[in-house]
Chain A
Amino acid sequence: MQHNDLMYSLRGIGKQRPGPEGFCLSISALDVRRGQLIALVGPSGCGKSTALDLLAGILRPDVETPDAVFHFSPVPEAAQDVLGLWRAGHGERLASLRLRYMGYVLQTGGLLPFLTARQNMLLPCQCAANEEERREAVERLAVELSVDGVADQYPATLSVGERQRVAIVRALAHAPAVVLADEPTAALDPAHSRRVMRLFARLAREQGCTVVMVSHAPDMAQEAGFTLAPIRVEKDANDERSVSRLHFSPEVA
Chain B
Amino acid sequence: MDLRLRAAELACADYRRESLLSACAVLGLAAVLAPLLILYGVKFGVVETLTARLLHNPATLEISPVGSGRYTADYVASLGKHPAVAFALPRTRAIAATIGLSRAETSGPLATRIVTASMEPTAAGDPLLARYGAAVPQAVYAQTEADTRLTESGVCLSASTAEKLGVGPGDALTGIVERGRRGAVEKARVRLTVTSVLPLAAEQKDMVFLPLPLLEAAEDFRDGRAASGMNPADGWTGSPLPDTPRVYAGFRLYARTLENVPRLRDAFRTHQVDVYTHADEIEQVMTLSASLGLVFSLISIAAAIGFAASTASSALAGVKRKERVLGQLRLMGFPMTALLLFPLTQALLTAVVGTALASLLYLGASQAINIMFADSIGHMESLCRLLPQHFAVALGMATALSLAAALGPALRAARIDPSEVIRDV
Q: Which of B284-342 contact A (CB under 8 A)?
A: 324-325, 328-336
Which of A104, A107, A109, A119 lies in contact with B332, CB distance below 8 A? A104
Within 8 Å CB of B123, what residues of A?
none
Within 8 Å CB of B334, what residues of A?
95, 99, 127
Contact with B along A108-129 (1 / 0, CB 8 A): 1110111100010001101101
Instruction: List residues of chain A with CB under 8 Å of any chain B CB.
Output: 49-50, 53, 56, 58-59, 91-92, 95-100, 102, 104, 106-110, 112-115, 119, 123-124, 126-127, 129, 154, 182
B326 to chain A, nearest CB (A): 10
B3 within 8 A of A: yes
- B13 & A115 in contact (Cβ 8 Å cutoff): yes
Within 8 Å CB of A59, what residues of B?
419
B81 within 8 A of A: no
Determine which residue in A50, A53, A112 has the highest number of CB atoms from chain B within 10 A of its CB, and name it.
A112
- B424 & A107 in contact (Cβ 8 Å cutoff): yes
B420 to chain A, nearest CB (A): 9
With A and B bound together, what is the CA distance between A115 and B332 in angstroms?
A: 15
A/B pair count, beta carbons within 8 Å: 73
Q: Which of B38-61 contact A (CB under 8 A)?
A: none
Within 8 Å CB of B17, what residues of A?
113-114, 154
With A and B bound together, what is the CA distance between A182 and B6 in angstroms?
A: 26
Instruction: List residues of chain B with CB under 8 Å of any chain A CB.
Output: 1, 3, 6, 10, 13-14, 16-18, 324-325, 328-336, 417-419, 422-424
Residue of B nearest to A108 (CB): B424
Residue of A nearest to B12 (CB): A114
Within 8 Å CB of B418, what residues of A?
53, 58
B282 to chain A, nearest CB (A): 58
Which of A50, A95, A104, A114 lies in contact with B16, CB distance below 8 A? A114
Report if A109-B419 is in contact (Cβ < 8 Å); known contacts: A96-B333, A114-B18, A126-B6. no
Within 8 Å CB of B332, what residues of A?
98-99, 104, 123-124, 127
Which of A50, A102, A107, A114 lies in contact with B333, CB distance below 8 A? A102
- A112 & B333 in contact (Cβ 8 Å cutoff): no
Within 8 Å CB of A129, what residues of B?
1
With A and B bound together, what is the CA distance between A110 and B424 in angstroms?
A: 10
Within 8 Å CB of B424, what residues of A?
107-109
Within 8 Å CB of A53, what residues of B?
418-419
Within 8 Å CB of A114, what residues of B?
10, 13-14, 16-18, 325
- B423 & A100 in contact (Cβ 8 Å cutoff): no
B334 to chain A, nearest CB (A): 7
With A and B bound together, what is the CA distance between A104 and B332 in angstroms?
A: 8
Show 30 residue pairs from A and B whose CB-CB distance is below 8 angstroms, ordered by the A residue.
A49-B423, A50-B419, A56-B331, A58-B417, A58-B418, A95-B336, A96-B335, A97-B333, A98-B332, A99-B334, A100-B333, A102-B333, A106-B328, A106-B422, A107-B423, A108-B424, A109-B424, A110-B328, A110-B422, A112-B10, A112-B329, A113-B14, A114-B10, A114-B18, A114-B325, A115-B13, A119-B13, A123-B332, A127-B6, A127-B333
